[in-house]
């Protein structure tokens, strides 16, 4: 049994794997797929896997993706071979919630201007600071991450509305709307936060009319995937004052091209797809992987966090 990692866990983490699974041969090869042909299990960030790789990986039965998004993976090739795919859905919820909250509170409490004034050594007490407390947030995609965002926002006195395809219940949401009914609630919302994955249904889900329906003071935060809204639609909404601010962790094209207008727009924060970063990332990914590998070896059960490659999440 061969397990190939295309990233390198820390020394003590590698040793833990080797000790716990003496019957398994582990290879830790940074972005190196030379050992794919003999690998039974692949543990990868999933970004650099091609259909040819899958063809070469004749023994491959399980791909453990140490991230949440699988949209860049060769879906057809994997599905055809009936390779099991699992991810680490949920391990992003803490760092992502903290990033969403950091950016939101930073704007409410004037941190950008506080930082700017410090650079200028300017003691300026005219901040225009407002409060997050008492505002309303729409959370588009209230899965593991979205519900954690909802939980924390509620603790801060924010009214939360969830939005998913069906409008069915999600925890920590005071109300729910379906994708089809989103226009109805947008005029009541102060913050629109998307953590949606990229699927056929979510691509360009938000259109010009949605931004027109938002408050002029609204903050739009995209922490899901960049193709939720066309760049030009968002740029227009920001330039015409349909909304006040956009905080973007994801983009239609990543890295964001250096001549892209977002970089220099006063009311845009460009975060380079880092909201899930955490010093605890690999540790948590292994916390998902290790019990799953035990089940797998015992031929007892499929891994948890199975990904349906047809749906894309």
Footprint on this chain of a second copy (rule: CB under 8 A): 94-95, 98-99, 101-103, 105-106, 108-112, 114-115, 117-118, 121, 123-125, 127-134, 151-152, 155-157, 254-256, 258, 263-264, 269-275, 277-280
The nearer residue to a second copy, 130 or 199, going by C-beta atoms, is 130
The nearer residue to a second copy, 16 or 94, going by C-beta atoms, is 94
Please choose, from the candidates 275, 285, 211, the residue with its C-alpha nearest in 3D space to the C-alpha of residue 246.
Answer: 211
The nearer residue to a second copy, 139 or 205, going by C-beta atoms, is 139
* Shortest Cβ 225–a second copy spacing (Å): 16
* Shortest Cβ 89–a second copy spacing (Å): 18
The nearer residue to a second copy, 53 or 148, going by C-beta atoms, is 148
Please choose, from the candidates 41, 13, 10, 14, the residue with its C-alpha nearest in 3D space to the C-alpha of residue 294.
Answer: 41
Please choose, from the candidates 184, 264, 189, 183, the residue with its C-alpha nearest in 3D space to the C-alpha of residue 221.
Answer: 189
Residue 268's DSSP bridge partners are 246
3-state secondary structure of 27: strand
* Shortest Cβ 273–a second copy spacing (Å): 7
Sheet holding 62-65, edge to edge: 25-28, 2-5, 41-44, 62-65, 84-86
* Shortest Cβ 71–a second copy spacing (Å): 18
The nearer residue to a second copy, 38 or 117, going by C-beta atoms, is 117
Sheet holding 159-164, edge to edge: 175-178, 159-164, 136-140, 191-194, 219-222, 245-248, 268-270
* Shortest Cβ 263–a second copy spacing (Å): 5
| Peptide bond connecting 135 to the previous residue in cis, omega within 30 degrees of 0 | no
Answer yes or no: are the C-beta atoms of 256 and 263 closer than 8 Å.
yes
* Shortest Cβ 121–a second copy spacing (Å): 5
The nearer residue to a second copy, 155 or 298, going by C-beta atoms, is 155
At 178, give phi and psi (nearest 5°).
Answer: -90, 165
């Amino acid at each position: 049994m061969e397990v190939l990692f295309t990233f390198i866990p820390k020394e003590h983490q590698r040793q833990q794997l080797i000790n716990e699974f003496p019957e398994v041969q582990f290879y830790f090869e940074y972005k190196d797929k030379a050992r794919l042909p003999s690998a039974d299990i692949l543990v990868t960030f999933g970004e650099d896997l091609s259909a040819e790789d899958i063809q070469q990986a004749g023994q491959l039965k399980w791909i453990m993706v140490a991230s949440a998004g699988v949209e860049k993976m060769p879906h057809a090739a994997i599905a055809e071979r009936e390779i099991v795919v699992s991810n680490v859905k949920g391990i992003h919820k803490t760092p992502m919630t903290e990033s969403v909250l950091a950016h939101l509170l930073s704007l409410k409490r004037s941190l950008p201007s506080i930082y700017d004034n410090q650079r200028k050594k300017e003691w300026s007490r005219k901040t225009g600071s407002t409060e997050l407390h008492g505002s309303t947030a729409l959370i588009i995609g209230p899965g593991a991450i979205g519900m954690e965002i909802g939980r924390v926002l509620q603790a801060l006195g924010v009214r939360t509305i969830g939005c998913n395809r069906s409008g069915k219940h999600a925890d920590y949401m005071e109300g729910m709307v379906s994708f089809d009914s989103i226009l109805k609630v947008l005029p009541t919302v102060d913050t629109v936060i998307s953590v949606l994955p990229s699927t056929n249904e979510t691509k360009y889900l938000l259109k010009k009319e949605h931004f027109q329906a938002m408050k002029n003071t609204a903050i739009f935060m995209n922490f899901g995937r960049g193709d939720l809204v066309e760049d030009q639609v968002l740029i227009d909404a920001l330039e015409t004052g349909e909304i006040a601010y956009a905080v973007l962790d994801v983009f239609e094209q990543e890295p964001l091209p250096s001549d892209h207008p977002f970089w220099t727009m006063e009311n845009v924060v460009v975060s380079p797809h880092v909201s899930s970063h955490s010093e605890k990332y690999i540790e948590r990914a292994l916390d998902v992987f290790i019990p799953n590998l035990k089940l797998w070896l015992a031929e007892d059960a499929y891994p948890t966090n199975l990904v349906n490659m047809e749906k894309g999440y």
